Structure 1
Amino acid sequence: MSRVNLIYARAKNYCIGVDGKLPWHLPKEFSWFKKITMGCPVIMGRRTYEDHKSVLPGRLNIVITRQKDYQAVEGIHLAASLEEAFELAKKESEDIFVIGGVHFFQTAFPFADRVFETVVDAEIDGDSYIPTFDFSQWQSSELAVSEPDEKNRYGFTVYERKRG
C-alpha cells in the first residue's frame, strides 16, 4: 500500500506563488525538499512542471495534463488525472509525493497520509495561495528550523504532519 504525501512551502499568509514562480529562493529549503522526495515519484500539474520544464533527478516525474498531444522533455511521464498518476507512481515506490499546484494539493489532501509543510517566515503578496488545511486531527512535528542568512533571505520551519 502506497503512502500519499503532499509537500509544499508557503508564506505565513499561505502564498505559494507569484507569476507562476516560487516567491523566494531558499537553497536550504530546497535541500530539504530534495532529501525528502529523493527516490520517490513526484506528481505535479502541467503548470507546475512548466515553471521549470526539466526532470527532477532521482525521482519518477509524473505530470498531469488533459492535453492529449502535450510534449514534455524526455524522462517526464504523463497522466490524464490524479488517479492515473497515483497508479503510475504506486508501481515505483511506497511513498508518493504531490508537489503542486494548488488544485492538486486540494484534490489530493483527502488521500494524504502525510504533509510536509514548510512555513516561510514572510508575508508575500502573490497570485497563488494554498488553502488552510485542517490539521486539528493530525499529529505534527517540527523537522527543521532555519534562520535567514546570506543565501536564504527568509527563515523557515519544516513540519511533518501525519493523520491520526
Structure 2
Amino acid sequence: MKISMIVAYGKNWEIGLDNQMLWHISEDFKNFKTITSGHHILMGRKTFESIGKPLPNRTSLVLTRGDFTHEGVHTFNDVQEAFNKAREAGEEELFIIGGANIYETLFDYVDKMYLSEVDYEGKADAYLKEIDFSTWDLSEEKSYDVILDEQGEVKSPAWKFKTWVKKD
C-alpha cells in the first residue's frame, strides 16, 4: 500500500489557524476531492473535528490519544492499526490529510506528496515542518493564477499544485 500525504501550505509553511484553513480555493478543494475519492483518509482528531463529519466516498481513519468516537469513523490510538485497517480493506493508496502533528509524525512513512503551495503569508498557529525535497522527484506541477472579486480583493490566492514521489 502506498502512503501519500496531501496538504496545502503558505510561503512560510502555514497550514492553519484556530483549527481552520487559511484560505478558500475551490479548485484546490475539487482537486482534493478527486484525488482522495474512493480511498482511506487518515487524520488527527482535531482535523476531523474541523471537518465535522466523514467525507463522502472516503473511509475516515482518525488517530487520537484519547477516547474519541464518531459515527462512520474508524478511530485508532496506534498508527500501525490504522494502516492495517486500510491494508485489510485492500487500499492501494492511503492519504494522510493532517494536521500538523500528524504530518510530522507520519512523514517517514510517506511515499508520495500532493502539495498545494499557496501564495499566502500571514497569521497561523499550525505549520507544516519544512520539507527537504532532495530525496524527492517532482512528477507533476501546475500553476493557478490569483482570482480577484469585483472590488479587486483576493478571492482566491495564486497557488501551485505539485506531486512529488520519493526517490528509490
3-state SS of paired residue (2:35): helix
Counterparts of residues 130-149 of structure 1 (less than 5 Å):
130-149=128-147
Aligned: 1:110 with 2:108: yes
Letter in 1 for 2:93: D
Partner Cα separation in structure 1 for residue 122 and residue 162 of structure 2: 20
The Cα shift of 1:153 comes to 1.8
Unmatched segments (≥5 aa) in structure 2:
150-154
Partner Cα separation in structure 2 for residue 33 and residue 134 of structure 1: 23
TM-score (norm 2): 0.90
Q: Which residue of 2 aligns with 1:97?
A: 95
Partner Cα separation in structure 2 for residue 81 and residue 23 of structure 1: 29
3-state SS of paired residue (1:103): helix
The Cα shift of 1:17 comes to 0.3
Q: Which residue of 2 aligns with 1:58?
A: 57
The Cα shift of 1:71 comes to 2.8
Q: Which residue of 2 aligns with 1:80?
A: 77
Counterparts of residues 144-163 of structure 1 (less than 5 Å):
144-150=142-148, 152-163=155-166
Q: Which residue of 2 aligns with 1:31?
A: 30
Letter in 2 for 1:6: M
CA RMSD, aligned part only? 1.3
Unmatched segments (≥5 aa) in structure 1:
none
Q: How many residues align?
A: 161
Aligned: 1:124 with 2:122: yes
3-state SS of paired residue (1:136): helix
The Cα shift of 1:150 comes to 4.7
The Cα shift of 1:11 comes to 0.5
CA contact (8 A) 2:41 2:97 kept: yes
CA contact (8 A) 1:7 1:117 kept: yes
The Cα shift of 1:82 comes to 1.7
Q: Which residue of 1 aligns with 2:152?
A: none
Aligned: 1:41 with 2:40: yes
CA contact (8 A) 1:82 1:104 kept: no
Aligned: 1:71 with 2:69: yes
- 1:24-46, Cα deviation, whole Å (9 max, x unpaired): 11111011111111111000000
